[in-house]
Amino acid sequence: MDRLESLCQQINQMNEPTNDVKDDSRRAIAVELDVSADGRAIEASIKRAWDAFGHIDGLVNNAGVKGQVKSSLELSEEQWNHVVNTNLTGSWLVSKFVGTRMRKAGRGGSIINISSISGLNRAQLRGAVAYSSSKAGLDSMTKIMALELGDYNIRVNAIAPGLFKSEITEDLVQKKWLENVAKRTVPLRTFGTSDPALTSLVRYLIHDSSNYISGNIFIVDSGYTLPGFPIFSSL
């Protein structure tokens, strides 16, 4: 929350008058929201955000947890629920309450779910049953909500990132050998960086230029999950 408030402060400082001219087009507020909370708490946070601006044009469901790396037989029910409630149920509830208000306002809008290549049928990992299941469910939710909300000009898409630096992957991306892995196995020879790889796509999906884009899962992984294995690449 502290980082978010600091970011909002930086954005708001851009509006400070310069030569007696003030730009009111940029304004940010921080609203605390626990996506693993119950529906009433989530709805209350959505209301605060909506009331601050009078509407919401774009929603990015970016909250997510990896959970414990354990086999399907060793994972506890509590550990399963923690991951699924955060990654899937929370995203559905936030989308539900924002989508309901978007429908009533009649302005259209864009909902973007941050999924993962782990949710794809070509990128399964041992020990990630809860995480992969939650992301696969998020992809299905994206498509179904796109079908249902299209009547109200609300677009719903998902982004499935590959390996980028985040709180989940922070330890892994610092490994020195990872660059060599990318050069040998990734078609574009790099895993890339979230900015601009993800941020540019988010901006596009929120912008009016993507008015005819809905129900898609955008894979952003430098081609890492393309079918094929480079074991014979040197032959």
pLDDT more than 70, % of the chain: 86
Q: Looking at the annotation, which residues are catalytic? A: 131
Residue 128's Cβ-count burial label (10 Å; 0-12, 13-18, 19+) is buried
Q: What is the pTM of this model?
A: 0.86
Q: Which residue has the higher pLDDT, 207 or 16?
A: 207
pLDDT in tens, 37-90: 999 999 999 999 999 999 999 999 999 998 999 999 999 999 999 999 999 999
Helices (H), the chain: 2-13, 39-53, 77-84, 90-105, 129-149, 170-173, 178-185, 194-197, 199-206
What's the mean pLDDT in 191-198? 80
How many helical (H) and strand (E) elements, i.e. helices and strands, does the chain have? 9, 4
Q: Which pLDDT does position 186 carry in this prediction?
A: 81
Asked if 162 and 117 count as a contact pair (C-beta separation under 8 A), the reply is: yes
What's the mean pLDDT in 219-226? 85
**What distance separates the 2 farthest-apart alpha carbons in the chain?**
68
Residue 186's Cβ-count burial label (10 Å; 0-12, 13-18, 19+) is buried
Domains (ranges, CATH) in the chain? 56-224 (3.40.50.720)
**Cα angle 51-157-24, degrees, rounded to a multiple of 5:** 35
Say whether pLDDT at 147 is over 50.
yes
Asked if 44 and 100 count as a contact pair (C-beta separation under 8 A), the reply is: no
What's the mean pLDDT in 145-160? 98
Strands 217-220 and 154-161, sheet pairing:
parallel
Say whether pLDDT at 175 is over 80.
no
CA distance 45 to 64: 18
Contacts of 163 (CB under 8 A, 6+ apart): 169, 172, 173, 178, 191, 221, 224
